[in-house]
Amino acid sequence: MFNLFNKENVLDVITNKNHVKRLVIYFMCVFFLAMLYNCFFVPYKLVMGGIGGLAILVNDFTGFSTTVFNNIATVILLTISFLTIGKETKKSIVGAITYPIMVTLTEPISKLINIEISSYLFMVIVVCFIYGLLYGIVYKIGYNTGGTDIVLEIVNKYKPMPKGTGCIYINIGIVILSVVSFGWTRVIYGVFALYLGNVITNFFLLGNNDSKLCIIKTKEYKEVEKLLDNEYEIGYTVLKSYGGIDKLKRTTLFCIIPSEIYYDFRYKLLKIDEKAFIISSNCYEVSGGKRKRTKIIHS
């Protein structure tokens, strides 16, 4: 029906604000996430954090249904959220309601599917790849699945923190709790699964960071220009700037360096000026402008 793995198609859905298509894609993704949960996470006791992970732990201790726990926990979290942050709850309410419903609907279906796994590690890798991909689509079209997202919205009211950091703290905490039930081997699998799932999700959301954005301040900017222009044939922008404290005028160079030559370039830059001020960060997308073919020169 839709090509979910085409970046442009997903972005078109968002920018055109076609709510019907967005919801259809969302429901499809959440359905398959719920199937993964009931077919693999629950029977193989794979804890990756979140309400679902807590449900698996509670089930192991008490035999309490994971589905019922997910539903009760969601109701409790939504109630607390309404009481503490009010209207802000609407950001997560669709996901908070949809995911538990899908988990409930897919539980009987999963019992009809018998999947035998000979390698636990292989299962973790495959499942987490699909998991990360589906979550990437969900986040890209502007939704979430509630759970940890609601907890973070409540926490942020009293102690603001970056959402990504908060998710990591909460999920790792839940994974470590699983040592009581399943031992350290499963904890290692859980941490690996959590890391791999986040990597795949971020890769789908942001793309591959195959270059570095560099901002360079140096007295020897003419020599650095020659390095960029003659040795690497990399385009650059010259910015006229001045210090915020000393108010001295300076020349700043702005350029994009392919990741495979970044350390070679940095080494040669510091040979020109060992006191050069360099800011570099991962660059996930470069488009437009004029490009030259980059030469890779090894020292």
80 within 8 A of 152, measured Cβ to Cβ: no
110 within 8 A of 32, measured Cβ to Cβ: no
* pLDDT category of residue 83 using cuts at 50, 70 and 90: confident
Higher confidence at residue 87 or residue 114? 114
d(CA 159, CA 149): 15
Per-residue pLDDT reduced to its tens digit, 137-183: 888 877 878 777 777 777 777 776 665 666 778 888 888 888 888 88
Per-residue pLDDT reduced to its tens digit, 223-251: 988 888 888 888 888 888 877 777 778 88
Other CB atoms closer than 10 Å to residue 187's CB: what's the count? Answer: 19
Pairing relation of β-strands 236-242 and 277-283? unpaired
Give the distance from CA 285 to its chain's centroid.
16
Per-residue pLDDT reduced to its tens digit, 6-25: 544 544 544 455 678 888 88
- Specify burial of residue 277 (Cβ count, 10 A radius: 0-12, 13-18, 19+): exposed
Residues 6 or more apart whose CB falls under 8 angstroms from that of 92 comprise 81, 144, 146, 149, 150, 153
Does the pLDDT at position 298 exceed 60? no
Which domains are assigned to the chain? Answer: 7-206 (no CATH), 211-283 (3.30.70.120)
Does the pLDDT at position 293 exceed 70? no
pTM: 0.69
* pLDDT category of residue 65 using cuts at 50, 70 and 90: very high
Does the pLDDT at position 210 exceed 80? no
pLDDT of residue 48: 87
